[in-house]
Amino acid sequence: MKNSWKKLILTFSLLVALAGVASAQTRIASVDLSKVFTDYWKTKQATLALEERKADLIKELESLNEDKKKLLEQYQRLNAEANDQAVSPEEREKRKKATEAKLRELKDSDESIKQFTARSDTDLKSQFQRMRNNVLGEIKETVNAKAKAGGYSLVLDSAAETINGTRVFLYSNGENDLTTVVLEQLNAAAPAEILKPAAKPAANPEQK
């Protein structure tokens, strides 16, 4: 019985020792992926391009809606003229056909707007997804390079959250945080105007 306990204690001690060695050999670093993604100059550049594209699509949609509004006004006018009892039945029939033709144009316009809206939404989502994948791919490459250079075998995202909204990364003394060095490398070739902070409005001398 004593021998069995001795063997159990020896085995447990050996496992603890091995775990300590493995822990010593595993260097862990962290990166705030959310901050890196947000502050990377290519994210800012891609976001500006996305906003410009969205603004262009909104202008096109406004133009289509304006055309539809004109068609609606024309249809309403023709419809009123088609019901004018002061004109001959032949003329009313002629105007009725014109009204029906204008109604078809109005329906076609409405369908075009629906298709344009759906297509625009798909295009914007696709453009955003491409941007996101490209940026994250470059960030991952930089993180991998920094981790290998620093001898880290594992890098954790300090901004990650669980499905319940709780933080995955509960504690770090910041000693092995690579966020700053990763961002510095990613932004090393950034155009000055991209990273330049927005100018603050001039103070009004009349305000106290």
> Residue 173 corresponds to which tokens in the numbers above?
């003394």
What does pTM read for this prediction?
A: 0.70
What pLDDT sits at residue 164? 81
pLDDT tier, 16 (very low <50, low <70, confident <90, very high otherwise): very low
What pLDDT sits at residue 11? 44
**Is residue 48 helix, strand or coil?**
helix
Give pLDDT tens digits for 155-204. 999 988 888 888 877 777 778 999 999 999 999 988 887 766 554 444 55
For the chain, give every domain's residue range: 29-190
> Residue 142 corresponds to which tokens in the numbers above?
């930089």
Give pLDDT tens digits for 119-165. 999 999 999 999 999 999 999 999 999 999 999 999 999 988 888 88
The CA distance from 75 to 172, in Å, is: 69
Average pLDDT for the chain: 83
Indicate if the alpha-carbon torsion angle 46, 52, 56, 59 is positive or negative. Answer: positive
Residue with more model confidence, 133 or 20: 133
